Structure 1
Amino acid sequence: MGEKLNEEKLNTSPYELDGKPPLKEAIPLGIQHVLAMFVGNVTVPIIVAGAIGLTVEDRAFLIQCAMLIAGVATLLQVYRIGPVGARLPIVMGTSFGFVPIAISVGNTYGLSAVFGAALIGGLFEMVLGSFLKPLRKLFPPVVTGTVLLTIGLYLIPTGMNYVAGGVGKPDFGSFSNLFLAGLVFVTILIFNQYTKGMFKVASILIGMVVGYIVAIPMGKVNFDAVVNAPWFSIPMPLEYGITFVWPAIFAMCLMYVVTAIETVGDISGITVGGAKREATDEELRGGIMADGLGSVLAALFNAFPNTSFSQNVGIVSLTGIMSRFVVLIGAVFLILAGLFPKLGAIIAVMPTSVLGGAAIIMFAMIMTSGIAMVSRDLSQRNLLILACSLGIGLGVGNVPGVLGAFSETTKLILGGSGGMVIAAFLAVILNVVLPKGTADSKPICVSEETKIEA
């Protein structure tokens, strides 16, 4: 009887999937999601624009488009349109995984070819998503857990670069940056573990706000970008045109396969971390299709391919807040930031080290979610899949020169995202080809206490 009451209480909670917390709670919780992904979302157009020689004005325009499309794509995920959308609290944003390919294609064929390849690739991912049900057997917990674990391990160095102030910054690794990151880190821990209610679930937002405020008198915040940003601007579609080049399309489509696998891992991370259950076929299919459609819209509106943002999966795992309404608030804020550039600029000038203090916790939560999924069945076979996938994937990611004999396109695909591509494909392939013997299917290292609890 007690369990039934607890379940009924959970289902009526404003923090569960269809719950609607009051606006005084939903707004800061939604902004918390935006703050977590904002730097990652705008960094991609900054990197690509700089690498292919675009002007400062082009860079600002691409950032504006990235914010607008991230908000629209998030709405697609949160509130399903037909079969498109996972109907889960998933935050979308510009994918880091496409950066090497976008730079290579942009320098060779121009930005119009990048958007053309991204458009075709997005349609290709939608087709993949529509056929997910017969492919679901390729993604058991050992595969999705391995992908999640790899994502977390891949992102940890990025988080540490944020902590130090951002790669290439003159004060990289300075005591001031480490102090700000440490302040945010400790503030999040204190509010998450020693407070209740709104203070607990908004611990990440509180930590970053505290860091932001402290950074101002330290001279770490330059508000010139806020002053110079226009009040209102509507991004026009196809500003750079669109062309279709087959080598670029092929490379993009291969990367979209990896993005689909990553999205499966993120969706599984949200359902496991927030709802304590496996993702359904409908959620996975709709999530991948929304990934694809979001990238199609991105290509039309001058933004780079979109995907689910793993750091926001970490927020759901840490806070337990599954409300789609909260993410809706975040999506609206992103759209407003895309239409009112001054609003986005206020967040854009936030010191990178402030984000780093929160990113370390969020990225580590993704990693531990992967560990939790894999540990459900620690059979000898599954341990071998995990070991081979991580060993080779992370090995290539840390020593990219091992791919020196391959073509540049192959190196971009296999070596991209810190070896995550190889780790994901290996996990899928090994799960298919390795035999599932009776002896190997039994978990190893299971204590008597665990057996009793089971």
Structure 2
Amino acid sequence: MLTSGLQHVAAMYAGVVAVPLVIGAAAGLDTGDTTLLMAASLFTAGIATLLQTLGVWKIGARLPFVNGVSFCGVAAMTAIIAAEGGAAGLPVIFGAVIVAGLLGFLISPFFCRLVRFFPPVVTGSVIALIGLSLLPVALGWVTDDGAEGEGASGKGVALAAITLAVTIGLNRFGRGFVKSVSILLGLVVGTLVAIPMGMTEFTGLGDADLIGFPTPFHFGAPQFSLPAIVSMCIVMLVIMTESTADVIALGRIVGRPADEKTIAAGLRADTLGSAIAPFFNGFAASAFAQNIGLVAMTKVRSRFVVAVAGAFMVVLGLCPLAAALISAVPLPVLGGVGIVLFSTIAVSGVQTLAQADLGKTSNSLIAAVTLGVGLVPEMSHGFYSQFPDELTIILDSGISTGCVLAVLLNLLFHHVGRRTPQEEEAPEPAVTH
């Protein structure tokens, strides 16, 4: 249980610390304050994960869900920082996140009723889109060691390939416990190989404290600005849309299809975790899709394993030295296992799509358009750059755009008006003899 929980932490660590790194740089924070944001993000992610897995009252889906800092709010938060002028924007962000989290908590019972609009053709398309949209993240980790704009270096690709090969080899030839922690062992082997290659950085260990509790409102009391609140409320709706798709995806993977009650409980954990996070200098929380891939790959479906991961994150948030040790894992190593994890999510989506009748023109069109439009931000960066910021927040998240589009198309084809059997039949494929 301990090693499987640590494996979940290793899989999501880079994603959790990425947002505070970006926000810290945008706000012009020094190394100490940026490290504080990272520790706070780990601490609050651990609390949200414990809420999600163990549950309190009607809060928490009680599924093996890892919660972390959502990428959805990065564009909105950097815009707030730019408008307020550096670190002065952080209290404004925290105030807006608190309001958005509380609003999301209140509307969760109503938002969850959308589950009947998520048949296999919708969920399968969205799950596949989640996996495909995350693949560029893994590739970005592989290229991180090279100069910006120069692509991946030979060492980065080699390190990712070695990590990937070890992970696959342990899955093919390993048994029992070894096979179940293949991702963790792949990360360990990849990091050890990176040491003689000069691709690890341990200098931060000497400056890290052993114990450090996140100081509440370290950057000042929260401020409540209406434009910032509106912006973060839009982000919260996007997060809830993605989390709904994630709950449905994980429910299918673990053999416990998510109903409205489960989705509502999961959304409450997300939104309450988001509302609590700013008190400890954290940001909005959401379910981490990469850990869904880890559950699918390892077949370890116990929510208590993920609860252990949540406890690990709380400890990491309280122990900067331990956080610095895990951060020494090179990004190309994370990229190697990320390729496996994210691709596994995409395959799970294909398996779900197989349950839908793709022989019907409507279903095949829903899947095709969802994937095509949802992948636009990944295939063409800056495609929506000329759009207003309020729209860019949503459109630049291909997962959210695809999810909303899939639901609308399903409504159009299957709930609005009536279709005849002839209209539903797919055309016969041409056969060449």
- Structure 1-normalised TM-score? 0.87
Q: Which residue of 1 aligns with 2:26?
A: 51
- Structure 1 residues not aligned, in runs of 5+: 1-25, 447-454
1:362 deviates by 0.4
> Is 162-171 or 230-239 further displaced after alignment?
162-171
CA shift in 2, pair 1:120/1:172, >3 Å: same
CA shift in 2, pair 1:224/1:197, >3 Å: same
> Is 260-269 or 335-344 further displaced after alignment?
260-269
Q: Which residue of 2 aligns with 1:17?
A: none
Q: Which residue of 1 aligns with 2:393?
A: 412
Q: Does 1:264 align with 2:244?
A: yes
Q: Does 1:87 align with 2:69?
A: no
What is the correspondence of 1:32-71 to structure 2 with a 5 Å cutoff? 32-71=7-46
1:444 deviates by 6.3
CA shift in 2, pair 1:44/1:396, >3 Å: closer
**2:407 & 2:149 partners in 1: Cα distance?**
42
CA shift in 2, pair 1:166/1:281, >3 Å: farther
Q: Which residue of 1 aligns with 2:431?
A: none
Q: Alignment length, in residue pairs?
A: 418
What is the correspondence of 1:303-452 to structure 2 with a 5 Å cutoff? 303-377=282-356, 378=358, 379-399=360-380, 401-403=382-384, 405-415=386-396, 417=397, 419-435=398-414, 437=419, 439=421
Amino acid at match of 1:59: T
**1:83 & 1:257 partners in 2: Cα distance?**
20
What is the correspondence of 1:25-424 to structure 2 with a 5 Å cutoff? 26-109=1-84, 110-165=89-144, 173-240=152-219, 241-275=221-255, 277-377=256-356, 378=358, 379-399=360-380, 401-403=382-384, 405-415=386-396, 417=397, 419-424=398-403
Percent same amino acid among aligned pairs?
Answer: 35
Please give the per-residue CA displacement for 1:331-374, whole angstroms capped at 9, x wherever unaligned: 11111111111011101111000111100100111111122222
Q: Which residue of 2 aligns with 1:23?
A: none
8 Å Cα contact 1:62-1:302 kept in structure 2 = yes
Amino acid at match of 1:98: G
8 Å Cα contact 1:27-1:326 kept in structure 2 = yes
**1:151 & 1:326 partners in 2: Cα distance?**
23
**1:266 & 1:281 partners in 2: Cα distance?**
13
SS in 1 for 2:28: coil
> Is 168-177 or 283-292 further displaced after alignment?
168-177
Amino acid at match of 1:392: V
Moved over 4 A (4+): 166-172, 440-446
CA shift in 2, pair 1:445/1:44, >3 Å: farther
- Structure 2 residues not aligned, in runs of 5+: 429-433
1:166 deviates by 5.3
**1:328 & 1:64 partners in 2: Cα distance?**
18
**1:441 & 1:302 partners in 2: Cα distance?**
55
**1:357 & 1:333 partners in 2: Cα distance?**
23
SS in 1 for 2:175: coil
8 Å Cα contact 1:100-1:412 kept in structure 2 = yes
SS in 1 for 2:144: coil
1:438 deviates by 5.5
- Structure 2-normalised TM-score? 0.91
**1:171 & 1:56 partners in 2: Cα distance?**
27
**2:195 & 2:249 partners in 1: Cα distance?**
35
Please give the per-residue CA displacement for 1:394-453, whole angstroms capped at 9, x wherever unaligned: 2355335553553233223322x3x2232121112112222463638978699xxxxxxx
**2:147 & 2:229 partners in 1: Cα distance?**
31
